[in-house]
Chains A and B, each alone.
Chain A
Amino acid sequence: MNFGFTEEQELLRQEVRKFLDAHCPMEQVRKLMETPDGFSRELWKQIGELGWLGLTVPEAQGGAGLGWVDLVVVLEEMGRTLFPSPFLGATIGAAAIREAGSDAQKSRWLPALADGSAIASLAWLEPSDRIDLAGVELAGKPSDKGVTLSGVKVQVLDAPAADLFVVAFRDGSAVKLAVVERSAAGVTVEATPSIDQTRRVGRVRFENVVVAADAVLADASEATTTRILDLATAAVTAESLGAAEAAIRLTVRYANERLQFGSPIGRFQGVKHPLAEAFVDVESAKSILYYAAWALDERDADASRAVSLAKAYMSEAFPRVGIDAVQLHGGVGFTWEYDPHLYLKRSKWARPAFGDADFHYDRAIAIGEK
């Protein structure tokens, strides 16, 4: 039994941390979040060269062939610094092709995603705001060329930067996935600005978009699409974990420095206890998440339940950490200059992303009853 990271994984964490601290400290994050693209192409190229973009892409397609446990390490670090980049969206997009694509399809798209020359994004959610399979209503009409897509996707992660979309569509009773190029006729991408400026999402419209038969992913069984959503959910949770821990640390640092009534405010239990409670919740959600990531890599039957418990727990803990961070900073916590609001805003995106606490608690208890 070993419930810890390997030496390689610890080294990976060090590498990511060092890189982000050197190249994208908070001043840089704040600069990037004010730009139209919201990220640096130069840094994107560099993390591609470091191999992070292909981390979970199979070796056969030019990636490192690592698992979700390794990815968790990287996402925690990116969450910690609120690293503005399409990394999360691109990783989920590539994972969808990895999971559902045939060998030919994987070879067609994954190498460019692994080296960062292209960015893919999973287009799942629709205006109904239903994250489950039944929420996929975008119509895919069979045609002699393949399939014609019509409908709207919202909250498409990193859509403004994406070159490819992995689009979930309905074909009768089945949900299928198609790879659609951004440049295809009938595709329009509209950025939908978030209060979290370090995160970019968009609305993507598909108007009679013709997709060739060989661009419909080979395996879109319910088990596969469920797994893709589980992988995405775990990834979001990992990033939230890093951000929540950073917000706690930030607040602890402030509580140690800020003097009131002749003492650091961190000495008062009114400050100490909410931080301890936040720590307990984040730490426990983290333990479940690590197990969930392991279960996903092992294709363990318990994976979906574990993912849902981790996300549900984090969806409650992280927003609370965001609020506590602002509140415990007092007046300065409300200013643009101090960082707590950046984490607070991230939590507003993360809470519903790929299912909120209610959704995942409902799902976890239903899985337990099967």
Chain B
Amino acid sequence: MDFHLTPEEEAFRSEVRAFLDENLAPGVNKNDPKFLAEWNRKVREKRWVGFSWPKEVGGGGATIMEQVILKEEMSKRKAPALGTCFMGLAWVGPAIIQYGTEAQKQRFIPDILDGKYQWCTGYSEPGSGSDLASLQCKCVREGDEYVVNGQKIWTSIAMWSKWIILLVRTDPNAASKHDGITCLLVPMNTPGVTVRPIRNMSGGAMFAEVFFDNVRVPVENRLGEEGQGWQVTVSALQHERSSIAEVEGLKRKLEELKELARKSRKNGRPALEDDGIRRRIARFEAKIEGMRFNGMRALTKQLRGEPLGAETSINKLLRAELEVAFGEIALEMQGSAGHLAKEVDGGRWQNFALSWPEVVIGGGTPNIQKNIIAERVLGLPKD
């Protein structure tokens, strides 16, 4: 066991810190469009956008440790994101790099790296949530085109996206439900595509329903082979690396909670002096540290070239638990004012306490994660 970095890795960490010292002055307005444009240009120049991607496609060709160091340092300093095309960088790009044709790579990868426009993800359907492979969106080939009819739901940022990565059913008679699925890349302005935003419980609208009515997609926009869509999706989602960034985010959130506990009153004294509150906060700290070191153990496996099992499900579950619990304790500490929309800190904790489903349900509910752990790690029979 050794937590020290190699001299090269230390040098890279210094490089990142120096960059942040120079380009992220304390107190800078991170929402200023001029600042952001400059930031995006500079991190792109450094090849820190798509840092893990091969150099041939314009990525950074980074080692796993370099990726970890970069994420960690950026997160510690609350730096803006590296790149603006969130889903493009997270899984559309990796899927195109792995399964795309040369023409597709040239057409899409540079735009994703430059953040020219947004991608959205058309996976879930009204009848297919946790059981994603049961999806039914109909797709029939007519000559050089596919014709799509059906509906997607919970499609984040669909209303601001130029393209959608779409899973459709091309073979309803395939032996396995996983086999008849194909992946298409579809422009959102294609005739027949309709987007209807869904208002969520915090009052905002981040996701939408997307309807497809005789939408015609050129065959050249298919990603991977016909019937290979499930594989394309699953291997793209596996690009999610360690949970370093999430851990840093949770640590920051815990510090903010302690700050709130310092100024909140419980039984006539600061909530941070209350044994019950203190122990709950310490318990959060234990779970975050658990996530941090679970992540490092997984990372060590990756560095040794060993395959990762369902380890990431462990941290997903812990994160889900923490996201919900943070919102709860924040409102509890505000006492009878906990339900007031704008009274404390402008209502950010209320908003937080109503926003966890995005993280907790999106990408696999806690119950599904428990199934994954029970079946793939513990070896219990499949449902």
- A273→B370 contact, CB < 8 A: yes
Which parts of B63-85 form the interface with A (CB within 8 Å)? 65, 68
- A252→B285 contact, CB < 8 A: no
| Stretch in contact with the other chain, from B18-26, B145-153, B188-196, B288-296 | B288-296
The verdict on A248 contacting chain B, using a C-beta distance below 8 Å, is yes
Residues of B within 8 A of A310 (CB): 286
- A280→B378 contact, CB < 8 A: no
- In whole angstroms, how far apart are the Cα atoms of A92 and B317 in the complex? 36
User: CB-defined interface of A307-318 with B at 8 Å, one 1/0 digit per residue?
Assistant: 001101100000
- B279→A362 contact, CB < 8 A: yes
Residues of B within 8 A of A5 (CB): 1
Residues of B within 8 A of A6 (CB): 1
User: CB-defined interface of B342-383 with A at 8 Å, one 1/0 digit per residue?
Assistant: 000000000000000000000000010111011101111111
- A276→B286 contact, CB < 8 A: no
- A294→B382 contact, CB < 8 A: no
Tell me, rounded to whole Å, the shortest Cβ–Cβ distance linking B251 to chain A. 11
The verdict on B303 contacting chain A, using a C-beta distance below 8 Å, is yes
| Stretch in contact with the other chain, from A137-145, A261-269, A331-339 | A261-269
Contacts A1-B300, A288-B290 given; indicate if A361 touches B370 (C-beta within 8 A): no
- In whole angstroms, how far apart are the Cα atoms of A340 and B226 in the complex? 51
Tell me, rounded to whole Å, the shortest Cβ–Cβ distance linking B365 to chain A. 12
- In whole angstroms, how far apart are the Cα atoms of A277 and B301 in the complex? 23
- The listed residue with most B CB atoms (<10 A of its CB), out of A255, A272, A276, is A276
Which residue of chain A is the closest to B316 with respect to CB atoms? A280
- In whole angstroms, how far apart are the Cα atoms of A361 and B294 in the complex? 20
- B374→A272 contact, CB < 8 A: yes
- A252→B378 contact, CB < 8 A: yes
- In whole angstroms, how far apart are the Cα atoms of A265 and B65 in the complex? 42
Residues of B within 8 A of A44 (CB): none
- A276→B294 contact, CB < 8 A: no
- In whole angstroms, how far apart are the Cα atoms of A312 and B290 in the complex? 12
Main secondary structure of the interface of A (DSSP, over half): helix
- A288→B289 contact, CB < 8 A: yes
Residues of A within 8 A of B292 (CB): 287
B317 contacts which of A256, A280, A287, A294 (Cβ < 8 Å)?
A280
Contacts A1-B4, A3-B297, A290-B293 given; indicate if A284 touches B314 (C-beta within 8 A): yes
- A276→B373 contact, CB < 8 A: yes
Which parts of A281-303 form the interface with B (CB within 8 Å)? 283-285, 287-288, 290-291, 293-294
Residues of B within 8 A of A285 (CB): 286, 290
Residues of chain B whose beta carbon lies under 8 Å from any beta carbon of chain A = 1-5, 9, 65, 68, 275, 278-279, 281-283, 285-287, 289-294, 296-297, 299-301, 303-304, 314, 317-318, 367, 369-371, 373-375, 377-383
A3 contacts which of B286, B287, B300 (Cβ < 8 Å)?
B300
A4-B304, A275-B378, A279-B377 are known; give 18 further A-B pairs, CB within 8 A.
A1-B296, A256-B379, A263-B381, A267-B380, A267-B381, A275-B374, A277-B370, A279-B374, A283-B314, A287-B292, A287-B294, A309-B286, A312-B282, A312-B286, A313-B286, A362-B279, A362-B282, A364-B286
Which residue of chain B is the closest to A268 with respect to CB atoms? B383
A to B CB contacts below 8 Å, 28 in the list: A5-B1, A6-B1, A252-B380, A255-B380, A256-B381, A266-B380, A267-B381, A269-B371, A272-B370, A273-B374, A275-B374, A275-B378, A276-B369, A276-B373, A276-B378, A279-B377, A287-B297, A288-B293, A290-B293, A291-B3, A291-B293, A291-B296, A294-B3, A309-B289, A313-B290, A365-B278, A365-B279, A365-B285
Tell me, rounded to whole Å, the shortest Cβ–Cβ distance linking A319 to chain B. 15
User: CB-defined interface of A138-160 with B at 8 Å, one 1/0 digit per residue?
Assistant: 00000000000000000000000
Residues of A within 8 A of B373 (CB): 276, 279-280
Tell me, rounded to whole Å, the shortest Cβ–Cβ distance linking B65 to chain A. 6
- A284→B290 contact, CB < 8 A: yes
- In whole angstroms, how far apart are the Cα atoms of A362 and B273 in the complex? 11
Contacts A264-B381, A364-B282, A364-B285 given; indicate if A4 touches B370 (C-beta within 8 A): no
Contacts A252-B378, A277-B370 given; indicate if A1 touches B65 (C-beta within 8 A): yes
Contacts A252-B380, A273-B367 given; indicate if A2 touches B285 (C-beta within 8 A): no
Tell me, rounded to whole Å, the shortest Cβ–Cβ distance linking A247 to chain B. 13
Tell me, rounded to whole Å, the shortest Cβ–Cβ distance linking A291 to chain B. 5
- A283→B294 contact, CB < 8 A: yes
Tell me, rounded to whole Å, the shortest Cβ–Cβ distance linking B136 to chain A. 25
- In whole angstroms, how far apart are the Cα atoms of A238 and B379 in the complex? 24
- In whole angstroms, how far apart are the Cα atoms of A248 and B68 in the complex? 32
The verdict on A69 contacting chain B, using a C-beta distance below 8 Å, is yes
- A267→B367 contact, CB < 8 A: no
- In whole angstroms, how far apart are the Cα atoms of A283 and B294 in the complex? 8
Which residue of chain B is the closest to A289 with respect to CB atoms? B293
Question: Interface residues of A toward B: which range?
Answer: 35 or more
B285 contacts which of A273, A276, A309 (Cβ < 8 Å)?
A309
- In whole angstroms, how far apart are the Cα atoms of A294 and B65 in the complex? 20
Residues of A within 8 A of B9 (CB): 1
Which residue of chain B is the closest to A314 with respect to CB atoms? B286
- The listed residue with most A CB atoms (<10 A of its CB), out of B282, B317, B378, B383, is B282
- In whole angstroms, how far apart are the Cα atoms of A112 and B349 in the complex? 61
- B289→A1 contact, CB < 8 A: no
- In whole angstroms, how far apart are the Cα atoms of A273 and B378 in the complex? 11
Which residue of chain B is the closest to A272 with respect to CB atoms? B374
- B303→A2 contact, CB < 8 A: yes
Which parts of A209-233 form the interface with B (CB within 8 Å)? none
Residues of B within 8 A of A365 (CB): 278-279, 281-282, 285
- A287→B371 contact, CB < 8 A: no
- In whole angstroms, how far apart are the Cα atoms of A34 and B265 in the complex? 55
Tell me, rounded to whole Å, the shortest Cβ–Cβ distance linking A69 to chain B. 6
Residues of B within 8 A of A362 (CB): 275, 278-279, 282
- In whole angstroms, how far apart are the Cα atoms of A310 and B289 in the complex? 9
Tell me, rounded to whole Å, the shortest Cβ–Cβ distance linking B295 to chain A. 8
Tell me, rounded to whole Å, the shortest Cβ–Cβ distance linking A299 to chain B. 14
- In whole angstroms, how far apart are the Cα atoms of A267 and B380 in the complex? 7
- Nearest 4 CB-CB pairings of A with B: A284-B290, A287-B293, A361-B282, A266-B380
The verdict on A358 contacting chain B, using a C-beta distance below 8 Å, is yes
